[in-house]
Amino acid sequence: MKIAIVYNRQSKSVINLFGRPNKEIIGLKTIKRLTDSLRQGGHQVVAFEGDKDLVERLGEFMPRVVKGERPGMVFNVSYGIQGEARYTHVPSILEMVGVPYVASGPLAHSLCLDKVVTKMILRQHGLPTPDFAVLNSPNDPVEDLKYPLIVKPKNEAVSFGLKVVNNAEELREGAGVIFDKFHQPVLVEQFIEGREVNVGLLGNNPPEAFPPTELMFGTEGPQIYTYEDKTNKSGRTIRYECPAPLDKAKSEEAKELGIKAFQALGCYDCARVDMRMDKDGNLYILEINSLPSLGEHGSYLIGAQAVGLDFTKFVNRLVEESSARYFGTPEPPDLVGTKRPSSDKVTGYITQRRDEMERQLSRWAGISSRSSDPIGIQEAVSQLEKTMTTLKLKRNDSIGDERSVWLWETAAGYEGGVLLVGHLDTPADRHTPRQRFRRDPEWLYGDGIGTSRAPLVMLDFALRSLRSSRVLNRIPLGVMYYTDEGSDARYSREAIREAAGNAKHVLVLRPGNAGEFTVTKRRGQRVYRFLVEGKSRRPGKIAKSPDPFRWTTLQLEEFAQLTKHKARVSVSTTNIESEKLPMLLPHRIVATILMTYPDAKVADAVEARMRSGIKKSEMSWQLELVSDRPPMAERKRNLSLARQLEKVATDLEIPLHYQSSVWPSVAGLVPSSSAALCGVGPVARDIGTPNEAVERISLVQRTLILAQFLGKDILK
């Protein structure tokens, strides 16, 4: 499990310094012991401070999960940075963002920090606690309490401001110090002369009580545990004795009181209940520490040692208790020796390798293979060859040219089965800067990460998971990759069309659309080159006809008027370049025109209107078709295939829908005899820009869907 240790030590990373600062500091040694112990327990561990960057750090370390994947957990040892009810700050944030955590929730922490409210709840539950009063100013009267008394701040921990007073003068002095230093009401409590014991608790429903621990104060100094004692500044040594020298009945009574107090305050997982015992053997509950110290020599851990839990065992047991509270079991449900269905093994394989998938994606994003970079493309091809070799897929050289398109298949072949199609080149404008791989809590960024790299990693890990369950080579499956997406699959299209015709199902590994969509229908796209040449003119020369550049722009506007939204046809100019002589207007213009269309007949008709609509003039012109990407028609086969994937996704509790798209893909090359589905890759955004990104959770979700779909007829 992923576990983030969240603590507060030195960070002041807040928006403003506001309110009383925290003085409870966890030691670096304790943080290291926690980290080492959790790693010994087989967990993946990081540690960071609980400041304003907490949510971002958690999002990077433990992103959203899918069905079958256990969420990460926070091991909370944070006392807060500043302000009131500091113990509640980190748990409240974790509740808000939906991250499980160790120890009590915000409500229990707030109740336990308020000593007066704690005592009121204890009394409502019939639990013994010393008589008390609350001073809202140093001169408030104290009635019905006999000296000696003890004063403490109402809302502080770790014995801040604790003092035993024997008369009214000492009371006013002690209360005044608390008002001046802590700026809060003062709890005045009957001091119970006698012995001090505490009971540590671990677990829930009911918690397990450790043997009582007695604090031995010696003969010097006050018979209470002060802040100076806790910080080793008092000059004396407090000794702990566990089990406390109590008779069995009194020991059981202390443990029972501890359990009842724990439950009355609504604590979870761990706590320490502090008590005093008078000379007659009567026990009184002083307070509940809902976040007991895990320092090496603390009394809470001494109690744990008394029941056979060393630090490593205790820490991992605490995680198990929290896991049981959140998930119903302290361990993942796959027990040693049990036989899991292969489909569960596939899911487990993928969900347990989220970090490995992102590392692999980072490596792929580091390979530059833009459509105009032949050296980078060759490097990407070599890397893909290694991947296919590792997966034990064999090359099928009957289709492909070893220059722009390659085909691999399983031992079962791919004919009549599934063909996966993707591209290795990353189409991008040459002026678009390359971006490095980076992540935030929801998205992964990198060059070509959505169009090419994330689908590659999805393919790799989906097939790895099937191979780990020993079913991959029994699946009729082919993998085809091409390297000329940037030139509209000009060289690879015939090979893609042939291979697709041999398969029953064709899945095109283009990125999924936002909103968890695949694509069952795409428009076609034609690109034209419109060349215009005319006589050079001087600026400002009066003429009966427009100059070549103006004539071209007027003609381009005429083309744009052919756009008909209801007919799903658009005609747009995407680029204009011109040539001119010095001191003259342009005489040669080249425009790039983009047409999107629903079917070839409509495209032919629009092209005919473009040609017939060009006005006669002294200009010479050419309208040349540069590329034609056929549309992906919405067929019954396509819809049936989309519904099959949708059912797989539903079983995994992953949202998945289908829609149409205006942009073309090689799915338009799939013959009508085969079912095609596009947009099967992880959901991406800002395609082709410096901010291209893929959704982190979608990388895992789409990998799961692909793996389970491919193996649905074999996995049991």
pLDDT (tens digit per residue) in 147-186: 999 998 888 765 567 888 899 888 998 888 888 888 889 9
Q: Given pLDDT bands bounded at 50, 70 and 90, which one contains residue 615?
A: confident
- Answer yes or no: are the C-beta atoms of 511 and 684 closer than 8 Å: yes
Q: What is the pLDDT of residue 336?
A: 35
- Site of tokens 């289709």: 399
Give, rounded to a whole angstrom, the gap between the first and last alpha carbons of the chain: 26
- Answer yes or no: are the C-beta atoms of 456 and 386 closer than 8 Å: no
What distance in Å separates the CA atoms of residue 608 and residue 610, rounded to the nearest whole number? 5
pLDDT value at 12 more than 90? no
How large is the average pLDDT for residues 3-22?
74
Closest of 695, 653, 705, 522 to residue 67, by C-alpha: 653
Fold that domain 524-629 belongs to in CATH: Alpha-Beta Plaits (3.30.70)
Fold that domain 2-101 belongs to in CATH: Rossmann fold (3.40.50)
pLDDT value at 577 more than 90? yes
Q: What is the pLDDT of residue 708?
A: 96
Pick the CATH number of 352-522+643-710 from 3.30.2090.10, 3.40.630.10, 3.40.50.620, 3.40.50.460: 3.40.630.10
How large is the average pLDDT for residues 631-645?
96
- 3-class state of residue 614 by DSSP: coil
Q: How many Cβ atoms are within 10 Å of 345's Cβ, its own excluded?
A: 19
Do 2-101 and 111-327 come out as alike in CATH topology?
no
Q: What is the pLDDT of residue 190?
A: 93
Closest of 313, 197, 185, 284 to residue 247, by C-alpha: 197
For residue 52, report the phi and psi dihedrals to the nearest 5 degrees.
-70, -15
pLDDT value at 126 more than 70? yes
Mean pLDDT, all residues of the chain: 90
Q: Given pLDDT bands bounded at 50, 70 and 90, which one contains residue 140?
A: confident
The more confident residue out of 179 and 603 is 603
pLDDT value at 705 more than 70? yes
pLDDT value at 473 more than 80? yes
Kindly report the pTM of this predicted structure.
0.74
How large is the average pLDDT for residues 13-25?
66
The domain ranges of the chain are: 2-101, 111-327, 352-522+643-710, 524-629
Closest of 526, 477, 551, 538 to residue 713, by C-alpha: 477
pLDDT value at 338 more than 60? no
Q: What is the pLDDT of residue 179?
A: 86
Measure CA 329 to chain center.
Answer: 23
How large is the average pLDDT for residues 617-644?
95
Using CA atoms, how far residue 472 sits from 84, 218, 242, 704, in Å, is 58, 72, 59, 15
- Answer yes or no: are the C-beta atoms of 587 and 533 closer than 8 Å: yes
Phi-psi region of 46 (alpha: psi -120 to 50; beta: other; left: phi over 0): beta
pLDDT digit string, tens, across residues 393-402? 999 999 988 7
% of the chain exceeding 90 in pLDDT: 71
For residue 61, report the phi and psi dihedrals to the nearest 5 degrees.
-85, -40
pLDDT digit string, tens, across residues 482-495? 999 999 999 999 99
The CATH class that applies to domain 111-327 reads alpha beta
Closest of 394, 419, 400 to residue 476, by C-alpha: 419
Q: What is the pLDDT of residue 1?
A: 84
Question: What amino acid is encoded at 325 in this protein?
Answer: R
Q: What value, to the nearest 5°, has the Cα angle with vertex 113 and ends 111 and 118?
A: 50
pLDDT digit string, tens, across residues 417-465? 999 999 999 997 767 788 899 988 889 999 999 999 999 999 999 999 9
- Interior/surface letters 516-539, b for 16+ CB within 10 angstroms, e for the rest: bbbbbbbbbbbbbebebebeebee
What distance in Å separates the CA atoms of residue 647 and residue 217, rounded to the nearest whole number? 68
For residue 708, report the phi and psi dihedrals to the nearest 5 degrees.
-70, -35
Lowest mean pLDDT segment, chosen from 145-159, 297-311, 651-665: 145-159
Q: Given pLDDT bands bounded at 50, 70 and 90, which one contains residue 227?
A: low
Using CA atoms, how far residue 120 sits from 48, 108, 527, 706, in Å, is 36, 14, 79, 58
Q: What value, to the nearest 5°, has the Cα angle with vertex 125 and ends 121 and 130?
A: 65
Measure CA 382 to chain center.
Answer: 31
Q: What is the pLDDT of residue 343?
A: 74
How large is the average pLDDT for residues 536-560?
92
Q: What is the pLDDT of residue 332?
A: 40
